């Protein structure tokens, strides 16, 4: 929290970016570097997001994440070669997960944090080993145990050991203490070779004491931790950490508030997706589409069906479901109003508002592009549609592809599709929309 010159508190809305992962993937041996581990967690998060929104893989089974997403969360732009080197390390390193067996299952060892990867200037393509796919896709099981990791705090730590200890202790905040580990088990968990810090005095100084002090004195950290040692005589044979919550005195990121258009959404819609939607639809259209989606979800709830709010909101907004509500209101108004002839004449004599003018302009654009497009051979039409889908942001690709596969060229009858197709063609054909008007 900051103060102005009058010493009055300035209240800011803080949105924590939290990452939900299963215990078995939180508790792994940390043989990889801190950046590699952060990168892997972000890939896990993106995998789960895409799965929840029913976004398909490509023909070869790859999923993709944008470089800008990685840069946004890491806080800087790593070089393409560094990303490639780190992904190669993730592919080669053995993964040991579920280290503390907190979910009741045994520790498991497998080769590779990822199985395949490919990197372009703008995207990272990745595949996980099947066993990790199975763990991630079981996240919604009622018996699963989760951790909500505050990403901004975790990413704030630049030292590997302090970040690992923070992550471990944050997971056991509700219990108040971590499991007991022998010194050898602690070394293994922290990824320390037997030849590193061979004397416990050095291990304690660099891997325990300094990292815990960094966590406890950080203005951003939301917990305090204290190592408790078990001894056999004077020799330390094991340890655990006590964990208590702490009030944060500052925050690493202040995110802008959600646009009012999304106020009725029952799950969080990412700010990047909000910006994409607002570039294509008005706030009113989006708000009405969310309202219509909520009505649909209420109908599903009555039928005791599973509801995926994120996927339904995405479909509702991109297909402009709010138009149904507008049409219903129009019919209701025409049935209820008893307007005199004089009033009608007055209304007719008034100039059209900007909204109707915009609708007229779009009608002209639609007709022009539709005539030119339908005059092309069908195979060329299909090629252009596929090119348009590939050019869109990830948030639209899945819905567009699904509708295209279902409707074929009848997709041209859907305004939600042509709203994206015509601007794509305008750029491709070098025929600006403003020139048509």
pLDDT for the residue numbered 9: 37
**Confidence band (pLDDT; 50, 70, 90) for 340?**
very low
Q: If you average pLDDT over residues 356-370, what whole number do you get?
A: 66
Phi/psi of residue 5, nearest 5 degrees: -65, -20
Q: Are 10 and 4 in contact (CB under 8 A)?
A: yes
- Least-confidence region, from 95-99, 215-219, 329-333: 329-333
Q: Are 4 and 117 in contact (CB under 8 A)?
A: no
pLDDT above 70 (res 348): no
Read off the pLDDT of residues 52-70 as tens digits, 9 standing for 90 and up: 788 888 888 899 998 888 8
**Confidence band (pLDDT; 50, 70, 90) for 213?**
very high
pLDDT above 50 (res 334): no
pLDDT for the residue numbered 182: 92
Question: Counting runs of H as helices and runs of E as strands, what totals does the chain give?
Answer: 20, 12
Q: What is the mean pLDDT of the chain?
A: 74
Q: Which of 166-175, 264-273, 359-368, 428-437 has the highest mean pLDDT?
A: 166-175
3 three-class SS: strand
Q: Which residue has the higher pLDDT, 138 or 156?
A: 156
**Confidence band (pLDDT; 50, 70, 90) for 14?**
very low
H or E stretch at 152: helix 151-156
CA angle in degrees (0–180, nearest 5) for 214-215-220: 110
**Residue 223's Cα: distance from chain center in Å?**
25
Phi/psi of residue 116, nearest 5 degrees: -145, 155
Q: Which of 83-87, 97-101, 318-322, 394-398 has the highest mean pLDDT?
A: 83-87
Question: Percentage of the chain with pLDDT > 70?
Answer: 70
Read off the pLDDT of residues 91-108 as tens digits, 9 standing for 90 and up: 887 766 555 555 555 555
pLDDT for the residue numbered 239: 95
C-alpha 230/C-alpha 227 separation (Å) is 10
pLDDT above 50 (res 11): no
- DSSP letter at 28 equals B
* Residue 5 CA: distances (Å) to CA of 2, 192, 249, 250, 285: 10, 49, 19, 18, 42
pLDDT for the residue numbered 288: 87
pLDDT above 60 (res 347): no
pLDDT for the residue numbered 100: 57
Residue 227, strand partner residues: 241
Structural domains of the chain, with CATH = 14-150 (1.10.10.10), 157-255 (1.10.10.10), 265-329+354-436 (no CATH)
pLDDT above 50 (res 43): yes
Question: Percentage of the chain with pLDDT > 90?
Answer: 11
pLDDT above 90 (res 395): no
Cβ within 8 Å of residue 89, ≥6 positions away: 32, 33, 36
Structure tokens at 86: 């780190």
Q: Are 247 and 223 in contact (CB under 8 A)?
A: no
**Confidence band (pLDDT; 50, 70, 90) for 238?**
very high
Residue 203's CB: how many other CB atoms inside 10 A?
19
Q: If you average pLDDT over residues 9-16, what whole number do you get?
A: 39
**Residue 184's Cα: distance from chain center in Å?**
37
Q: Are 73 and 6 in contact (CB under 8 A)?
A: no
Read off the pLDDT of residues 280-326 as tens digits, 9 standing for 90 and up: 888 888 888 888 888 888 888 788 777 777 788 888 888 888 776 66
- What spatial distance separates the first Cα and last Cα of the chain, rounded to whole Å? 50
Q: Is 24 exposed, middle or buried (0-12, 13-18, 19+ CB in 10 A)?
A: buried
């Amino acid at each position: 929290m900051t103060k102005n010159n009058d010493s009055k508190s300035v209240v800011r809305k803080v949105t924590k970016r939290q990452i939900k992962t299963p215990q078995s993937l939180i508790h792994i041996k940390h043989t990889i570097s801190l950046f590699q581990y952060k990168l892997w967690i972000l890939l896990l998060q993106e995998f789960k997001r895409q799965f929840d929104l029913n976004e398909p893989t490509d023909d070869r089974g790859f999923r993709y994440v944008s470089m800008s997403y990685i840069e946004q969360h890491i806080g800087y732009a790593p070089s393409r070669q560094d990303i490639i080197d780190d992904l190669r390390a993730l592919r080669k390193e053995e993964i040991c997960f579920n280290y503390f067996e907190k979910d009741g299952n045994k520790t498991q060892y497998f080769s590779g944090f990822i199985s395949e990867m490919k990197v372009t200037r703008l995207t990272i393509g990745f595949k996980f080993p099947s066993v990790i796919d199975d763990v991630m896709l079981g996240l919604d099981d009622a018996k699963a145990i989760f951790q909500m990791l505050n990403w901004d705090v975790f990413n704030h730590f630049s030292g590997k050991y302090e970040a690992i200890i923070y992550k471990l202790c944050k997971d056991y905040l509700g219990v108040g203490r971590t499991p007991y580990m022998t010194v050898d088990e602690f070394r293994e968990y922290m990824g320390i070779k037997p030849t590193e810090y061979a004397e416990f005095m050095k291990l304690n100084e660099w891997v325990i004491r300094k990292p815990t002090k960094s966590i406890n004195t950080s203005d951003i950290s939301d917990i305090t931790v204290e190592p408790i040692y078990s001894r056999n005589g004077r020799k330390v044979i094991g340890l655990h950490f006590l964990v208590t919550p702490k009030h944060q005195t500052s925050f690493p990121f202040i995110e802008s508030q959600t646009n009012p258009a999304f106020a009725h959404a029952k799950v969080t819609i990412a700010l990047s997706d909000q910006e994409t939607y607002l570039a294509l639809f008005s706030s009113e259209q989006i708000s009405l589409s969310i309202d219509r989606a909520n009505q649909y979800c209420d109908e599903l709830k009555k039928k005791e069906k599973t509801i995926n709010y994120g996927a339904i909101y995405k479909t509702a907004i991109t297909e402009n479901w709010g138009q149904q509500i507008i049409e219903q209101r129009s019919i209701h108004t025409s049935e209820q109003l008893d307007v005199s002839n004089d009033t009608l004449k007055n209304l007719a004599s008034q100039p059209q508002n900007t909204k109707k003018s915009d609708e007229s302009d779009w009608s002209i654009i639609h007709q022009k592009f539709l005539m030119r497009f339908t005059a092309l051979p069908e195979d060329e039409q299909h090629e252009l549609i596929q090119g348009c889908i590939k050019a869109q942001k990830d948030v639209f690709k899945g819905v567009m592809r699904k509708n295209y596969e279902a409707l074929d060229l009848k997709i041209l009858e859907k305004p939600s599709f042509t709203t994206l197709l015509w601007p794509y063609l305008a750029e491709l054909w070098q025929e600006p929309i403003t020139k048509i008007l």
